[in-house]
Amino acid sequence: DTGVSQNPRHKITKRGQNVTFRCDPISEHNRLYWYRQTLGQGPEFLTYFQNEAQLEKSRLLSDRFSAERPKGSFSTLEIQRTEQGDSAMYLCASSLTRDNSPLHFGNGTRLTVT
Amino acid sequence: GEDVEQSLFLSVREGDSSVINCTYTDSSSTYLYWYKQEPGAGLQLLTYIFSNMDMKQDQRLTVLLNKKDKHLSLRIADTQTGDSAIYFCAESPRVYGGSQGNLIFGKGTKLSVKP
């Protein structure tokens, strides 16, 4: 079990640029989640996939954000025209489908928008 | 609305017990979770409890659930310096006809363990 892997670990970008993050879930997990965590706060849900289908999106996910999971394995989260308020830790998690299956988190990608 | 509240800080001496408290609002939550986060890292699942249970024990960890008061606690026995971290409580409200799409987290309790 290699756990949930996220790349890159850190990303510094200038305001207005686009960024893309990748998440590789635990291989047998068919649910994949994206969360955002700002300093001093708990993680906030952004979106989740079951296999390749995006089943839920938070109202935090503005139209500048898009997530994909084309083959039901890894996922990407893209932020277009980044703003300073996008600076945060972006966490990916995965789980099995059954309801009591807990979420397993990766170490996150820390985004800094200058 | 959905909200999870925790005290922000707790300081204990090594060897003492730590008790971290949490209140939640959504009575439909069927599972409640405790996660641990060390600096610069993601969240590590510590334990979880099904809502029809009152208590769950796992080695040094004891979870107590008072469903009537919507109160959850995590007790760490014989706290060690390696237990210093931020501890998050999370609930899993039912959405969209029963799918568990997301967890609602508290802001976390920073546990400091002094030698």
Distance from CA of A113 to the nearest CA of B (A): 18
Which residues lie below 8 Å from residue B68, measured CB to CB, with a gap of 6+? none
E strand segments, chain B:
4-6, 9-13, 18-24, 31-37, 43-50, 55-58, 61-66, 71-76, 85-91, 104-105, 109-114
B11-B17-B18 Cα angle (round to 5): 45
- Residues of chain A with pLDDT > 70, as a percent, come to 97
Query: Whole-angstrom Cα distance, residue B97 to residue B44?
Result: 28
Q: By the 8 A CB rule, do B73 and B63 touch? A: yes
Q: Pick from A4, A6, A33: which is nearest to B102 by CB?
A: A33
Distance from CA of A4 to the nearest CA of B (A): 10
Find the helix or strand (DSSP H, E) in which A79 lies: strand A75-79
pLDDT digits (tens, 9 = 90+) for A41-85: 999 999 999 999 998 888 888 899 999 999 889 999 999 999 999
Residue in the block written with tokens 């635990």: A26
Tokens of A100: 């009591």
DSSP letter, residue A92:
E
Interval B79-93 mean pLDDT: 93
Query: What number of helices (H) and strands (E) belong to chain A?
Result: 0, 11
Query: Whole-angstrom Cα distance, residue B70 to residue B51?
Result: 10
pLDDT digits (tens, 9 = 90+) for B49-65: 988 899 999 999 999 99
Which pLDDT score is estimated for B26?
80
Which pLDDT score is estimated for B97?
40
Instruction: Give bridge partners of residue B21 from the DSSP assignment.
Output: B73
Q: By the 8 A CB rule, do A109 and A21 touch? A: yes
Which pLDDT score is estimated for B25?
87
Q: Is B23 near chain A, with CB under 8 Å?
A: no
Find the helix or strand (DSSP H, E) in which A76 lies: strand A75-79
Per-window interface: A 46-65 vs B, CB < 8 A: 48, 55-56, 58
Q: Is the pLDDT of residue B99 over 50?
A: no
Interval A24-46 mean pLDDT: 94
Query: Whole-angstrom Cα distance, residue A31 to residue A96?
Result: 6
Q: By the 8 A CB rule, do A79 and A65 touch? A: yes
Mapping DSSP to helix (H, G, I), strand (E, B) and coil, where does residue A78 land? strand
Peptide bond between residue A43 and the one before it cis (omega within 30 degrees of 0): no
Distance from CA of B16 to the nearest CA of A (A): 26
Q: Is A102 near chain B, with CB under 8 Å?
A: yes
